[in-house]
Amino acid sequence: MRSVRSVIGLLSLLSTASPVIASAQVFDVIEADITSVQRAMASNRLTCRALVQHYLDRIAAYDRVGPTLHAIQHVNARALQEADSLDALPRSQPRGPLHCVPVLLKDQVNTRDMPTSYGSILFRDFVPQRDATIVERLEAAGAIILAKASMGEFAGRYVSSASGIIRNAYDPTRNPSGSSSGTGAGIAANFGLVGIGEDTGGSIRGPAAVHALVGLRPTLGLVSVHGMLPANPTQDVLGPMTRTVEDAARVLDVIAGYDAKDPITAHAVGRMPTSYRTALRPDALRGRRVGVLRTRRDSTSELRNARRDTTLSSDSIRVLETRVRERHAEYAKAATVFAAALDSLRGLGVTVIDSVVIPPVSGRRVGNSFETEPSTNAFLAEQPNAPVRTWQEILLSGTVNPWRARAMMDYVGKTMDDADYLAVLRYREAQRTAVLQLMADQRLDALVYATYDAAPTRIAEDVLTNPRPDDGYGLGDNRGLSPSTGFPAITVPAGFTSDGLPIGLEILGRPWADDQLLAFAYAFEQRTRHRRPPTTTPPLPARR
C-alpha cells in the first residue's frame, strides 16, 4: 500500500491546485512526447503546472482505483511548486533540455526530498540524505521527479511488501514484467512523460517490451549508478523507458557520462557522441546486416522428463501436457508478431541473416549470486538513517514477500571471494568474445530477437503469499545476453498479439554503440508506428 504520507500529499495537491488554464485544455497529454510538450509551452498553449496536474489527475484516477495498476509508490508533494518555479522563468530561458519533463523514477534510486522504498515496507518512509547522481542530472536539466515508481521488492519480479501487486497496463490480470514494473506500467498509462528504470538481468527491457515502450539498457559504465541500491554492481545499469525513441535519446543525453562517484563511468570518456539524437534518421537501417537469434524456449523437454519420472501421477502429467499446449499457443502468437517485425526490417533495406548461432562457450555457467549481499551491506552502511543495515537483517525482519524472500536466501553468505565467482567472470569474458566473433564472422551490425517469445502470463492468485507461485513468470525470456556481456540493448514495440498484448523487438550491439542502437530503433519505429496506449486508462474528461 502507498504510505500515508503519499496519499495525504496527493490529496493535498488535488485539492489546492488551481484549475488548469483554458488554453492548456487544447493540449492532449495522452502519448505526449518531449517535443510536443516543449512546442506547446513555447506557443503558450501549455504551462508546466497544467502538464504536471494532468499527470497527477491520471495517477489519482487509475493507479489505486480504476484498473489499480499500483505503478506509483510515492507522489512528489512538491511537484506543482516545482512546476510553478519553472513557469516563472522567461519562456526564452528554459532551465535545460528537459525543462518541465515529468519523470517517473524507479524507487530503487535515492531522492533526498521523498521516500525511497526499494520495494520494501521496511523502507517505505525512508528518506535518504542525498540524491543519486542521475537525479541531480535530471533536475539540473529542468526535469521534475513527478513520482517514485513501484518496483519488485529489492529488484525482483513485480510484487513487493511496499506496493503489493504491480499490474500490466494492457491487461491488469497479467504480469508487468520486472522489476522496473511501475515505471513500465506508469509510462504506458501516461502517468508521466518519461521514465527511468534499472536493469540487472532485464528489468528495463522486460517492462518496456510488455508495455509497448522503448527501453534502453546502456553499455555498462555509460550512466552513473551512484546513489542506487545495487543488485549486482557488475551488471547494474540505469536507463530510459519512454514512449518514443527520440525521448530515450533526449534523456540519455542528460544522464550519460563520467561521474567521479562511480569510477566505472570513466570508461565512457571519449566514447560518447555530442548528442545521441544526431544519429536518428529514418534510413539508418538501410544497407545494414543483422543476425536473428532464435533461442528455443518451449516446455517439451520438461514434459519429456516428466513422462520418465515414475513418481509423478498420470493427473500431474496431464496437467503438464495442458500447460505445454497453452504455452506453445502463446509462443505461436508472439512468433507471428516477430516474423512481421523481421519483414519490416527487410523493407527498410536490412539484410537479415536468420538463425545465427553464438559460438559455444566453454566452462561452467554459474549464476551471479555473489555480489548482492556484500554490495547491499556496503550501500546501506553509507545511509546513516537507514532502518536496517544488512541483507540478513532484511530477511530476518519477516516482512519480505515470500517469493522474494526465498530467492534472497540463495544469496546469503556468498561473496566475491568465493571460488565460483571466478567462473562467473570467466564465462562472461568468453561470452563477450563469442558474441563479437559471431558479429565479425557474419559482418553483423547488430543482433535481433524478441525480448520475450511470449506475452506476459497471468498473475497467480497466491502471488503475495506463496513462495513458489505457479504463474509462469518469465515465459520465453531472452533478456540475458546484454547483462551477461555488458553490451547495450534496446527494445522497441514490435506489434501486438491477436489478443492485444505487446511484443518487443530487441536489438543488441557492440559496446558503446548505444547511438547506433537508438538509430536502428528509430528507423524501425518510424516505419512501423506500433506504439498505442492501453485502453484500460483512457483520457480523462476535460477539467473545467
| Helix H or strand E encompassing 237 | strand 237-242
Contacts of 104 (CB under 8 A, 6+ apart): 71, 72, 146, 147, 148, 149, 182, 183, 186, 187, 191, 192, 194, 195, 196
Cβ burial 410-423 (10 Å sphere, 16+ → b, else e):
ebeebebeeeebee
Asked if 107 and 119 touch (Cβ cutoff 8 Å), the reply is yes
Residue type for 459, please? I
CA distance 162 to 180: 14
Spatial neighbors of 347 by CB under 8 A, at least 6 apart, are 527
Selected catalytic residue, list 120, 177, 179, 369: 179
Cell of 199: 536493469
Closest CA to 177 of 194, 200, 156, 192: 156
DSSP strand pairing (144-149 vs 214-217): unpaired
Please tell me whether the peptide bond between 179 and the residue prior to it is cis, using omega within 30 degrees of 0: yes
- Helices 300-308 and 314-347 pack at an angle, to 10 degrees, of 160
Ramachandran angles phi, psi of 474, nearest 5°: 85, 15
299-308 contacts, C-beta under 8 A, 24 or more apart: 299/323, 299/324, 299/327, 299/328, 300/324
Helix axis angle for 133-140 and 245-255, nearest 10°, is: 110
3-class SS of residue 87:
helix
Is 106 labeled as catalytic in the residue annotation?
A: yes
| Residues with Cβ within 8 Å of residue 297, at least 6 apart in sequence | 331, 453, 454, 475, 476, 477, 478
In the set 6, 106, 299, 482, the catalytic residue is 106
> Is 6 a catalytic site residue?
no
Of the residues 117, 203, 224, 484, only one is catalytic, namely 203
- Give me the residues paired with residue 242 across strands: 214
CB burial of 169-204 (b: ≥16 within 10 Å; e: otherwise) equals bbbbebbbbbbbbbbbbbbbbbbbbbbbbbbbbbbb
Q: Where are the alpha helices (DSSP H) in 348-451?
A: 372-381, 391-396, 402-409, 419-441
Active site residue 203: yes
User: For the CA atoms of the chain, what is the radius of gyration?
Assistant: 22
- Report residue 243: phi and psi, to 5°: -90, -15
What residues form DSSP beta bridges with 194? 103
DSSP-assigned letter for residue 246? H
**Which residues have a catalytic role annotated?**
106, 179, 203
